[in-house]
Structure 1
Amino acid sequence: MRDLFFILKEHKANFYKLYKLALYDFIAPLRDTYLGVIWIILNPLLQIGVYWFVFGLGIRNGRAVDGHPFLLWMLAGLVPWFYISSSISSATLSIYSKSSILTKMKFPTSIIPTCTITTQLLNSIPVILIMIIVYGFNGYKATIYYIQIPYYIISASLLLIGISLITSAVIMAVRDINRIVGTVLRFMFYLTPILWTTINLPPIALKIIRLNPFIYIIEGFRNTFLYNKWFFEDISFTIYYWAVTIIILLIGALVHMKLRNRFSDLI
């Protein structure tokens, strides 16, 4: 607990630095491009198009899910997953990629993964806005449930920070972690009901699948955009999610503090 409080204080003391670094990492890749911010949304849109063509048209023959068009059902799962997967992938390498800074000056290393996750959030905001527009064009008007979007973004971000504190620290000692993380993310993408439904799963398999905390975020987006449900309607899953998030944050803070004094030696 003491390690987590220290990291929280470090974040508070360096909040402006964190914000500026995240904003710079967001803007810098776009400066010398003609299309600018379009590049941020182009890759997700292309992936969405491919998944819709393969799974929506090819496998499902355009069949709806719970009365909702497959494209809209899939969007509510893919968009948060893009944020989750890109954040974990980039944040895992965040401290290692800033090694030149660590060897030259004293730097609050705990804010580096959070800075990377914030950059990925900035990248995700245009995609979320386009998603809202697509829903509007398909007759899904904005509802009061949309106020849950910041809640689910914050919920996902805190879990991602906890995970990244672990992976970004461990990778400094074990470089193979990056490959392991990439492999696990690929498995989780297909084991998480993003492109498929759980309707045919037996109860025991459904319980096992829902041990994955990211399903809470995926289902949360679908409940917000499609099913008009509040997050507290499934209070047991909400309690489980926050219990897992707090535990991972505590472990992440512990691992980070144990290894941070050795970062410069491990580069």
Structure 2
Amino acid sequence: MNSLLAFFRLLYARRQLIIAMAARELRAQYVASSLGLLWTLIHPIVMITVFWFVFSVGFKTQPLHDVPFVVWLTAGLAPWYIFSDIVSGSTNIILAHAHLVKKTIFASQILPVVKILSSLVTHGIFLSVLLVLLLFQQMPFSLYYLQALYYLLCLLMLSLGIAWALAALNVFVRDVAQLVAVTLQIGFWVTPIFWDISMMSSKIQRLLKLNPVYYIVQGYRESFITFQPFWSHPLHTAYFWSITAAALACGAYIFRKLKPQFPDVL
């Protein structure tokens, strides 16, 4: 716990460096592109449009619980998109910044936070698209929209713990990045983003709800669509934070133990 508090104090002390590095990483993604940061808007719009066309037009998916499918889909895609972006991007972030990590004065534990901060820009655009869809579909406005900030915090804490562990392990075992890519592909389809979990048997539902990302995806839909408070399912909330606390503790421990060896391996 003390090491985690020390880390957050470090984040505050290095906040200007983190913001500068996040901005540079975001620009680097589109450095040779004439449209530049506009691609952060184009990507989610194209993704949502393609999935909407395939499932609504191709498979003729009907509205779920009287909610237009494109809205229901976007509310689920938004948290998954940033989660997968953080996890996949953080896995190689130590290798990508090897020139900095080799410097003993550089606090390499901030690198996953840099990735998180840069990913928040795209997430903000994704949420803007969702809000436009809600307005276009004439769905009711609610202060429950603000509850999405709580679920965003849940997502960031879970992602940070995972990112620490994967970033450190990938320095020593380069197959970790490939394993993460495969795992995210499986997780994308196992998590009920395109389909309603209620279509499964109660036994399968219990298994699927063990996935902590389900809690976040469902929470976004409860915030933007069904307007249910997060305290309405206390057991699931307690389970999620138990998993997240374990992920943070394990991720911090793995990173702290392996960090002294980074310069030798890199």
TM-score by length of 2: 0.95
Partner deviation per Cα, 1:26-67 (whole Å, 9 max, x = no partner): 2344455332332012122222122122223323x1311111
State the Cα distance separating 1:105 from its structure 2 match. 5.1
| 1:131 equivalent in structure 2 | 130
Query: Counterparts in 2 of 1:55-204, with a 5 A limit?
Result: 55-59=55-59, 61-104=60-103, 106-204=105-203
State the Cα distance separating 1:73 from its structure 2 match. 0.7
Secondary structure of the 2:45 match is: helix
| 1:15 equivalent in structure 2 | 15
Is the Cα–Cα contact under 8 Å of residues 45 and 129 in structure 2 kept in the other structure?
A: no
Is the Cα–Cα contact under 8 Å of residues 151 and 216 in structure 2 kept in the other structure?
A: yes
Is the Cα–Cα contact under 8 Å of residues 92 and 168 in structure 1 kept in the other structure?
A: yes
What amino acid is the match of 2:208?
I
> What is the alpha-carbon distance in structure 2 between the residues aligned to residue 64 and residue 42 of structure 1?
25
> What is the alpha-carbon distance in structure 1 between the residues aligned to residue 69 and residue 58 of structure 2?
12
What amino acid is the match of 1:23?
A
What amino acid is the match of 2:213?
F
State the Cα distance separating 1:72 from its structure 2 match. 0.8
> Does residue 39 of the first structure (1) align with residue 39 of the second (2)?
yes
State the Cα distance separating 1:154 from its structure 2 match. 1.3
Is the Cα–Cα contact under 8 Å of residues 171 and 177 in structure 1 kept in the other structure?
A: yes
Gap change, CA 1:256 and 1:149, over 3 Å in 2: same
| 1:235 equivalent in structure 2 | 234
> What is the alpha-carbon distance in structure 1 between the residues aligned to residue 203 and residue 63 of structure 2?
26
- Flag structure 1 segments of 5+ consecutive residues without an equivalent: none
Indicate the larger mover: 151-160 or 186-195.
151-160
> What is the alpha-carbon distance in structure 1 between the residues aligned to residue 57 and residue 80 of structure 2?
21
Partner deviation per Cα, 1:193-244 (whole Å, 9 max, x = no partner): 0001112211111010000000111001100111011111111111111111
Is the Cα–Cα contact under 8 Å of residues 22 and 119 in structure 1 kept in the other structure?
A: yes
> What is the alpha-carbon distance in structure 2 between the residues aligned to residue 156 and residue 240 of structure 1?
14
> What is the alpha-carbon distance in structure 1 between the residues aligned to residue 29 and residue 95 of structure 2?
19
Secondary structure of the 2:26 match is: helix
TM-score by length of 1: 0.95
What amino acid is the match of 1:76?
A
Is the Cα–Cα contact under 8 Å of residues 26 and 119 in structure 1 kept in the other structure?
A: yes
State the Cα distance separating 1:104 from its structure 2 match. 4.1
What amino acid is the match of 2:48?
I
| 2:50 equivalent in structure 1 | 50
Indicate the larger mover: 163-172 or 197-206.
197-206
State the Cα distance separating 1:9 from its structure 2 match. 3.1
| 1:5 equivalent in structure 2 | 5
**Root-mean-square deviation over aligned CA pairs:** 1.5
Number of aligned residue pairs: 266
> What is the alpha-carbon distance in structure 2 between the residues aligned to residue 104 and residue 251 of structure 1?
25
> What is the alpha-carbon distance in structure 2 between the residues aligned to residue 251 and residue 95 of structure 1?
18
- Flag structure 2 segments of 5+ consecutive residues without an equivalent: none
> What is the alpha-carbon distance in structure 1 between the residues aligned to residue 256 and residue 43 of structure 2?
36
Indicate the larger mover: 25-34 or 74-83.
25-34
